[in-house]
């Protein structure tokens, strides 16, 4: 349960109405912080990606690969979100990128206030890429604007292509879909064609990338998209 967004169980009409009221208030407050962060980053000339996906989808592995490929071109700064531990932050630190860990405790997502505070711990500079790796979850992170320029959703082949229809907000709100772990396709029940069709039904202009952090397949194309985003040649995410 996440008390900050009211996503816990509710019983009865009164409790359901109260939950909706709490959610509206939280999202409104979050939107104010997100607008401040977006304006601050724009003033600094920093492009931000908010990466969401389930636990184990391959978000950190994707990020490690991007950092290695952009090394020497662009400074990459990372905010890591997890309930506990610094494991992913330590992995990112080993790439040489500056990273700040946010542990949410029992919180199921990052919010704009958390991210705004995290920015004070990172060496922001014009032209930098800020990547926010959200808490592993396809539900609540999709509802919270973090002040990002672009939202990227990562879906791994072992999860199944049905997740696109089950969690539509995550895919409808993303600029890009990364289908990860494609090296496992022969071992799992996942249809690339079906996944693409469902994602485009939700968001006709979504960019779709098929990648494997293990083999490197597809990563150059995704990094090309990131470069285009840094150069202002990609339309920013229109959040719901």
User: What local confidence, expressed as pLDDT, does residue 14 receive?
Assistant: 64
Average pLDDT estimate for 140-158: 97
Distances from the Cα of 202 to the Cα of 170, 172, 186, 206, angstroms: 10, 5, 26, 9
Residue 118 has pLDDT above 70, yes or no: yes
Percent of the chain with pLDDT over 90: 86
SS (H, E, C) the chain: CCCCCCCCCCCHHHHHHHHHHHHHHHHHHHHHHHHHHHHHHHHHCCEEEEEEECCCCCHHHHHHHHHHHHCCCCCEEEEEEECCCCHHHHHHHCCCCEEEEEECCCCCCCCHHHHHHHHHHCCCCCCCEEEEECCCECCHHHHCCCCCCEEEEEEEHHHCCCHHHHCHHHHHCCCEEEEECHHHHHHCCCCHHHHHHHHHHHCCCCEEEECCCCCCCCHHHHHHHHHHHHCCCCCCCCCC
User: What local confidence, expressed as pLDDT, does residue 239 receive?
Assistant: 72
Percent of the chain with pLDDT over 70: 90
pLDDT digits (tens, 9 = 90+) for 126-135: 999 999 999 9
Residue 193 has pLDDT above 90, yes or no: yes
User: What local confidence, expressed as pLDDT, does residue 57 receive?
Assistant: 98
Q: What is the pTM of this model?
A: 0.91
Residue 217 has pLDDT above 60, yes or no: yes
Average pLDDT estimate for 192-197: 98
| Closest-CA residue to 212 (of 236, 187, 238) | 187
pLDDT digits (tens, 9 = 90+) for 68-108: 999 999 999 999 999 999 999 999 999 999 999 999 999 99
User: What local confidence, expressed as pLDDT, does residue 112 receive?
Assistant: 98
Q: What are the backbone dihedrals phi and psi of residue 225, each rounded to the nearest 5 degrees, phi first?
A: -65, -40
Q: Please indicate whether residue 9 or residue 158 has the higher confidence score (pLDDT).
A: 158
Residue 17 has pLDDT above 60, yes or no: no
Residue 157 has pLDDT above 60, yes or no: yes
pLDDT digits (tens, 9 = 90+) for 166-185: 999 999 999 999 999 999 99
Q: Please indicate whether residue 22 or residue 75 has the higher confidence score (pLDDT).
A: 75
User: What local confidence, expressed as pLDDT, does residue 23 receive?
Assistant: 67
130 exposure class (CB count in 10 Å sphere: 0-12, 13-18, 19+): buried
Residue 142 has pLDDT above 60, yes or no: yes
User: What local confidence, expressed as pLDDT, does residue 104 receive?
Assistant: 97
Average pLDDT estimate for 219-237: 94
User: What local confidence, expressed as pLDDT, does residue 225 receive?
Assistant: 98
| Domains within the chain, CATH numbers bracketed | 12-230 (3.40.50.300)
């Amino acid at each position: 349960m996440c008390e900050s967004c009211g996503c816990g169980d509710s019983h009865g009409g009164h409790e359901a109405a109260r939950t909706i009221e709490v959610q509206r208030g939280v999202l409104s407050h979050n939107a104010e912080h997100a607008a401040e962060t977006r304006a601050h980053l724009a003033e600094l000339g920093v492009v931000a990606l908010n990466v969401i996906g389930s636990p184990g989808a391959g978000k950190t592995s994707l990020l490690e690969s991007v950092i290695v490929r952009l090394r020497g071109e662009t400074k990459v700064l990372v905010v890591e979100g997890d309930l506990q531990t610094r494991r992913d932050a330590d992995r990112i630190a080993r790439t040489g990128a500056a990273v700040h860990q946010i542990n949410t405790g029992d919180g199921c997502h990052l919010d704009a206030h958390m991210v705004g505070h995290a920015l004070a711990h990172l060496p922001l500079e014009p032209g930098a890429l800020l990547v926010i790796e959200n808490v592993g979850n396809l539900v609540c992170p999709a509802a919270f604007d973090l002040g990002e320029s672009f939202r990227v959703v990562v879906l791994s082949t072992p999860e199944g292509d049905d997740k696109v229809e089950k969690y539509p907000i995550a895919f409808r709100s993303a600029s890009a879909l990364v289908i990860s772990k494609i090296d496992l396709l022969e071992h799992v029940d996942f249809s690339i064609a079906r996944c693409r069709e469902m994602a485009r039904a939700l968001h006709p202009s979504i960019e779709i990338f098929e990648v494997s952090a293990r083999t490197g397949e597809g990563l150059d194309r995704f990094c090309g998209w990131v470069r285009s985003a840094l150069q202002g040649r990609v339309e920013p995410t229109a959040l719901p």
